[in-house]
Amino acid sequence: MAPRRKEKYKLPVPLPEGKILDDMEGNRWALGKMIGSGGFGLIYLAFPTNKPNKDARHVIKLEYQENGPLFSELKFYQRAAKRECIQKWIQQRKLDYLGIPVFYGFGLTDF
């Protein structure tokens, strides 16, 4: 078993509702309200600015780039959580549903 970490991950500074964030593919996202926080970072409801529906169907996770697991988590989602990959997995295994969120993008911001 891996040794326990002595220091906790640092939570990011909360961002204001309505802040616009750009991902690496050029998509723009508006933050809704924060719905969670903890060792995993901050989780916000979000919606694309080109479809301003306040009934947010997306979430954005904020975490400092230096936090250890972020790199591994990002690489997993980039590889395995594209809509096509999830649908293929569901069909191959004859499942009704797979509890993995679809990955839409990532980006960096200064705050």
Give the tens place of pLDDT for each residue, 14-29: 999 999 999 999 999 9
Q: Which of 32-36, 44-48, 52-56, 91-95 has the lowest mean pLDDT?
A: 52-56
pLDDT, one tens digit per residue, over 78-97 is 999 999 999 999 999 999 99
- Residues spanned by the domain of 84: 20-92
- Supply the CATH number for residue 42's domain: 3.30.200.20
Structure tokens at 82: 């594209």
Q: What is the pTM of this model?
A: 0.78
Residue 77 in domain: yes
Q: Rounded to an integer, what distance in angstroms lies between the CA atom of residue 17 and that of residue 33?
A: 6
Q: How confident is the model at residue 33 (pLDDT cuts 50, 70, 90)?
A: very high
Residue 88 in domain: yes
Residue 89: which residues within 8 A CB-CB, separation 6 or more? 95, 98
Residue 51 in domain: yes
Angle at 72 between CA 11 and CA 44, to 5 degrees: 40
Helix, coil or strand: residue 64: coil
